[in-house]
Amino acid sequence: MRYIQHEVILYNTDESKIYLILIHNIKHLVLNSMTIFFKRSKQRFNPWFFLVLMAVALVSACDSMPTVTDATVETTEVEEKHSETAVQETKVDTEAVSNREEKEIKEPVRLDGDSLYNLLAAEFAGNIGDVDASLQYYREAAKSIEDSRIAARTAYIALYGEDYEAALTALDRWRELEPDSADLPRMYAIVYLKLEQPEKAVPYVETILSGSRESSVDEAMAVKQLLAKEASTKDAYVVLQKLNEKEDKNKHLLVLQSRYAAQLKQYDEAMSLLDQVLVIDPSLHEVLIIKARILTAQGRHEEATALIKQVLDDLPDNNALRLQYARMLVEQGDMPGATEQYLILYERLPEDGDISLSLALIYIETQELEKAVEVLEHLVEIDKKVPVANYYIGRILQNQGDDKQAVARYLRVNSGEYAFDAQLRIGILLAALGKPDEGLAKLEKLAEVHSDWNLRVKAYLAQGEILRDQKRYKEGVEMYSRALQQKRDDTLLLYARGLMAEKVDRLDMTEADLLKVISKEPDNADALNALGYTLADRTARYKEAQEYIKRAAALVPDDPAILDSLGWVSYRLGEMDEAIKWLSKAFEKLQDAEIAAHYGEVLWHNNQKDKAREIWNKGKAQNAKNPVLLETLKRLNPE
């Protein structure tokens, strides 16, 4: 495939008149062979030899060219009429690289053998994607051929190949041959921006604007598009700064400059520019919105809110403005205010799916679930964002404990970004509804049909949770082992198998898996804590266990699970005061049944039996079926 389109140019040589129309579907093998020939040849080009070579290429191309019929003839035609003295008429209709307007084709240029050699070699190199070689040959051709089209093509290829110095040289040659070309200013501007020389680009941008008959808005849009595509934020700001130095200022360019200033965190400069715009045109409410966003970026939320409210008071029927205000309130965490604004928009624009979904999500955030379901059902009724609406209705039903209805909703989510998570939840809920094997089969199939490894891991982990809840620990280890055969160093699966292996007394596997995780992720606090706790709880390697747990605590100092592990290993080491200190902190942060079991046991052995009973009772209130708590109470028999 050709890397860049080009104009068809006709030439003659001293030896004979050759009219070339380059064919795009010449086979790559032939093109490659020709390019290798051109690169290696050290002899003067022989056009008669080229005719033979070209004939071979054309014959090769014929195999892949479709049969031409009246129905397939293109509307663009090239007709050539020869006489003894000159070319009388040539019609060329093709799209130029620079998308210039069609111009009258220039008279054919007389070429010598070397010039034609360079042109042909350049084209063949370009056809096989060798941009460097193509540029090299075009640069040589541009030096000797008095035709601006060759220089222009050289410039475009140099720009495409990111050889910006070569592009400048070609542009200078182009300007020498065709100083009035309308494309030159834009090309110079682009090249200087690519070279990170914005000051040198400014005069050419000014030339583009001076020759424009567009409105000030269109001019600003043209500059915006040029800078967004070709310049860094810093260089774009420099260009706009220079453009806005003239007395007759374009208010839209000032707004654009303020945006770049804000991106560079030059907030005072941005605000000053916007003030200039308001002096020119006080009716530009967009400027006040931008000022409000800048104030928000500075942390001045109250000022920003007041400013945007002022604009909205002036334009209460402007839905786009109200939407921006509502989004700003969400960003600031003002959910009641955002709800009020989105509700107004919802009533005005009931068919707008985005507004309805935003309102529903705010209701979910503020725990107004009945209202959320009402709006989500509205989305289903108007057939907008239906999969998303069903997904969130399913989440609400699941959180309310209505697992059966939640599954029914999730089954309707068969497309979109939430489809995988919906299927995952169906598998988990089937197990909760007393169908664990059906849920496991659903999750296994889900893992098989997805090629994304991260999604497959989620499906494996969900299977593991079902098997853990079912106390089918051996099956869990086997399932994780099968999954790890596909990717043996996946840390999530290694961690999960390590925890499951402890349940079947495979402490060797537990330690090996967790050490693999730690070797790959030395700062994995969960793995460090799990290994330390296991060694403290299931072995006598207490000092070693304490080191792992301390490393975890250094990474996450306030994690209740890690604080519990610190207390438990201290208890194992006979450090009762330390044990009580850490366990009390852990229970204060999270009243968990397992933490209660450990804390109560330490208090019991420290002769604080009444307090121990109190802690255990609180643990039972959280989870009376917790196996660690039940085992502790059975062993100590506090009644």
> Following DSSP, what letter does each residue of 163-179 receive, concatenated?
-HHHHHHHHHHHHHH-T
Long-range pairs for 516-524: beta carbons < 8 A, 24 or more residues apart: 516/489, 516/491, 517/491, 520/489, 520/491, 521/491, 523/555, 524/491, 524/495
DSSP 32-84: HHHHHHHHH--SPP-HHHHHHHHHHHHHHHHTTSPPP-TTT--S----EEE-S
The answer to whether residues 14 and 37 touch, using CB atoms and an 8 Å cutoff, is no
426 in a structural domain: yes
31 in a structural domain: yes
- The CA–CA distances, whole Å, from 203 to 197, 241, 273, 283, 309 equal 12, 13, 22, 31, 41
Per-residue pLDDT band for 328 (boundaries 50, 70, 90) equals: confident
The average pLDDT across 614-625 equals 95
Q: What CATH number should be reported for the domain holding residue 408?
A: 1.25.40.10
Distance CA 565, CA 530 (A): 9
481 in a structural domain: no
The answer to whether residues 322 and 312 touch, using CB atoms and an 8 Å cutoff, is yes
108 in a structural domain: yes
How much of the chain, in percent, has pLDDT values that exceed 70?
82
**What are the start-end ranges of the E strands in 311-455?**
none
Residue 200: Cβ-neighbour burial (10 angstroms; 0-12, 13-18, 19+):
middle
Residue 71 main-chain phi, psi, to 5 deg: -80, -20
Distance CA 464, CA 451 (A): 20
The answer to whether residues 428 and 465 touch, using CB atoms and an 8 Å cutoff, is yes
Judge whether residue 494 has pLDDT over 60. yes
Q: Which residue has the higher pLDDT, 82 or 298?
A: 298
135 in a structural domain: yes
pLDDT tens-digit series, residues 76-125: 333 333 333 333 333 333 344 444 444 444 566 667 788 888 888 888 88
The average pLDDT across 325-334 equals 87
Strand partners, 111: 13
pLDDT tens-digit series, residues 598-612: 999 999 999 999 999
Distance CA 599, CA 564 (A): 8
pLDDT tens-digit series, residues 148-172: 999 999 999 999 999 999 999 999 9
pLDDT at res. 598: 97
Of 417, 449, 466, the position where a domain reaches its end is 466
pTM: 0.64
Say which DSSP state 540 is in.
S
Judge whether residue 258 has pLDDT over 80. yes
Judge whether residue 70 has pLDDT over 70. no
Helix (H, G, I), strand (E, B) or coil at 88: strand
Judge whether residue 218 has pLDDT over 90. no
Of 414, 442, 466, the position where a domain reaches its end is 466
Show the domain range for 143: 1-65+78-178
pLDDT tens-digit series, residues 127-138: 888 999 999 999
189 in a structural domain: no
Which residue from 454, 438, 465 is spatially nearest to 426, judged by alpha carbons?
438
The answer to whether residues 122 and 134 touch, using CB atoms and an 8 Å cutoff, is yes
pLDDT at res. 624: 93
Judge whether residue 195 has pLDDT over 90. yes
616 in a structural domain: no
Judge whether residue 309 has pLDDT over 60. yes
pLDDT tens-digit series, residues 14-45: 333 333 333 333 334 344 444 444 444 433 34
Helix (H, G, I), strand (E, B) or coil at 635: helix
Of 118, 144, 178, the position where a domain reaches its end is 178
Judge whether residue 552 has pLDDT over 70. yes
Which residue from 258, 334, 244 is spatially nearest to 289, judged by alpha carbons?
258
CA atoms within a 13 Å half-sphere pointing along the CA-CB vector of 548:
24
Helix (H, G, I), strand (E, B) or coil at 465: helix
The average pLDDT across 383-389 equals 97
Count structural domains, the chain.
Answer: 2
How much of the chain, in percent, has pLDDT values that exceed 90?
66
pLDDT at res. 109: 65
Q: Which residue type is seen at 597? A: A
Q: Which residue type is seen at 23? A: I
Q: Which residue has the higher pLDDT, 116 or 419?
A: 419
What is the number of other CB atoms lying within 10 angstroms of the CB of residue 7?
Answer: 16
Mean of the per-residue pLDDT values of the chain: 84
Per-residue pLDDT band for 531 (boundaries 50, 70, 90) equals: very high
Distance CA 393, CA 388 (A): 9
Judge whether residue 297 has pLDDT over 70. yes
Query: Helical H runs in 244-334?
Result: 251-263, 267-280, 285-297, 301-314, 319-331
Q: Which of 226-235, 288-297, 321-330 has the highest mean pLDDT?
A: 226-235
**CB neighbours of 513 closer than 8 A, spacing ≥ 6?**
494, 495, 497, 498, 501
161 in a structural domain: yes
Distance of CA 636 to the CA centre of its chain: 56
Distance CA 424, CA 419 (A): 9
| Strand bridging mode 109-111 / 87-90 | unpaired
